[in-house]
């Protein structure tokens, strides 16, 4: 799974080249006709891996696939039958009558991340942050070409892709909504405020947001809950997931433009979170923490073994921690505490807090908790 243009098809075609396989694009009328009777098609090609691209187009296909998979499992063929590619989340795919629970494994493909592209090279980190991780945008010949690619990407989603998958929402309305989320990058969701600005109901705002989350374009970061008896912020924080798309929605073309824009702090925060999530192990859950009294942690990582990390995200090269972070850590009781900043040196900041770079933090997550 992953948004369009992220590289799913490229990887799948490499698989097709390396093994007996058959690739079908379900946006092609011919390929779509081939799978209308999926059982007959499978019987004619059962000696090959069948790759189905853009499977979210026909989720009802999963009902028939269940019988095929169960039949093969009884024969001892428990894997390697199908490879599905989808531009939507598990939740959207499971809106069909059959989710293939227990018969399918999900892997989300993220944009190019800091370790893949930049590591500790600050200039490349800044380029990745500005342009985002979609390969065509990142590798464009100039910032102008990159911005134009992302603006075309946004228009294509609004005018073609979203109408195919979701309710009929006017493209101009959804673009305004998406842009408002970008301007409030990293802010706590205020559905009533958004509803007033768009002249729609709060229920409609929730529907729009659910769609953008399902399409893997927006992250809804939930608050961490505790039994501390404190008044906590209960609404989620909202991020446009790719930093390059965030900047394109606001017309930010160059790195200097970004540094001068009010969104710079929220954009960096979202960029850091998405990079960490790109290397996170299975069943790790991300949260944020904020109390009514001002205690706050930007990112709380809760791992499957119960371990918790508290992470503060700072854009400047000389990080300083507020009193609110330390108060929040008293409430959360994390096993480890970090500050991610824009420098590359790692050093202790007292009270068990370690300052580190984004790349080093990602390596830390991979080294300690990857399978």
For the segment 125-134, the average pLDDT, to the nearest whole number, is 97
Of the candidate CATH numbers 3.40.1350.70, 1.10.10.10, 1.20.950.20, 3.40.605.10, the domain formed by 114-369 belongs to 3.40.1350.70
Please, which contacts does 73-80 make with residues 24 or more away whose CB atoms are closer than 8 Å?
73/103, 80/49
What do you get for the CA distance between the two ends of the chain, in Å? 20
What does the angle CA 278 – CA 4 – CA 342 come to, to the nearest 5 degrees? Answer: 35
For the segment 365-370, the average pLDDT, to the nearest whole number, is 74
- pLDDT score of 330: 92
DSSP 127: H
What does the angle CA 290 – CA 295 – CA 301 come to, to the nearest 5 degrees? Answer: 55
Helical segments of 184-263, H only: 191-198, 202-214, 243-249, 255-259
Q: Please say whether the beta carbons of 149 and 140 come within 8 A.
A: yes
For the segment 277-291, the average pLDDT, to the nearest whole number, is 92
DSSP class per residue in 281-338: PTT-EEEEEEBTTS-EEEEEEE-TTS-EEEEEE--SSS----HHHHHHHHHH--SEEE
Q: What is the pLDDT of residues 1-39, one digit of tens each?
A: 999 899 999 999 999 999 999 999 998 999 999 998 999
- pLDDT score of 189: 93
Element (H, E) at 368: helix 358-369
Q: What is the pLDDT of residues 330-345, one digit of tens each?
A: 989 999 999 999 888 9
Residues pairing with 239 in the sheet: 219
Considering the entire predicted model, what is its pTM? 0.91
What does the angle CA 30 – CA 31 – CA 33 come to, to the nearest 5 degrees? Answer: 65
Q: How much of the chain exceeds pLDDT 90, in percent?
A: 68
- Where along the chain do its domains lie? 8-93, 114-369
Copy the structure tokens of residue 229: 């008896």
- pLDDT score of 170: 84
């Amino acid at each position: 799974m992953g948004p369009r243009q992220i590289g799913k098809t490229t990887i799948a075609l490499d698989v097709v080249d390396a093994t007996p396989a058959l690739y079908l694009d379900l946006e092609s009328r011919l390929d779509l006709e081939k799978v209308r009777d999926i059982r007959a098609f499978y019987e004619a090609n059962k000696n090959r891996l069948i790759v189905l691209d853009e499977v979210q187009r026909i989720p009802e296909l999963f009902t028939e696939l269940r019988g095929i998979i169960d039949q093969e499992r009884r024969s001892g063929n428990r894997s390697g039958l199908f490879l599905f590619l989808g531009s939507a989340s598990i939740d959207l795919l499971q809106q069909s009558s059959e989710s293939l629970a227990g018969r399918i494994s999900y892997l989300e493909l993220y944009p190019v991340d800091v370790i893949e592209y930049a590591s500790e090279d600050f200039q490349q980190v800044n380029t990745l942050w500005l342009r985002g991780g979609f390969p065509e945008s990142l590798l464009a010949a100039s910032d102008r070409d990159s911005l134009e690619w992302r603006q075309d990407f946004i228009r294509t989603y609004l005018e073609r892709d979203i109408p195919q998958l979701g309710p009929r929402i006017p493209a101009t309305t959804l673009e305004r909504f998406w842009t408002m989320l970008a301007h409030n990058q990293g802010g706590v969701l205020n559905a009533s405020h958004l509803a007033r600005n768009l002249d729609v109901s709060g229920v409609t705002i929730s529907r729009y947001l659910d769609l953008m989350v399902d399409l893997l374009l927006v992250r809804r970061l939930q608050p961490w809950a505790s039994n501390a008896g404190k008044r906590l912020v209960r609404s989620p924080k909202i991020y446009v997931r790719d930093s390059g798309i965030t900047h394109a929605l606001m017309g930010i073309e160059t790195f200097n433009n970004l540094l001068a824009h009010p969104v710079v702090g929220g954009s960096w925060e979202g960029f850091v979170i998405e990079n960490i999530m790109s290397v996170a192990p299975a069943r790790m859950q991300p949260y944020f923490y904020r109390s009514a009294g001002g205690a706050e942690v930007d990112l709380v990582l809760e791992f499957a073994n119960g371990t918790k990390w508290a992470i503060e995200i700072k854009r400047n090269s000389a990080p300083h921690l507020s009193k609110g972070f330390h108060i929040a850590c008293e409430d959360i009781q994390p096993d480890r505490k970090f500050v991610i900043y824009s420098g590359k040196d790692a050093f202790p900041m007292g009270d068990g807090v370690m300052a580190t770079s984004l790349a080093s933090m990602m390596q830390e997550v991979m080294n300690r908790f990857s399978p």
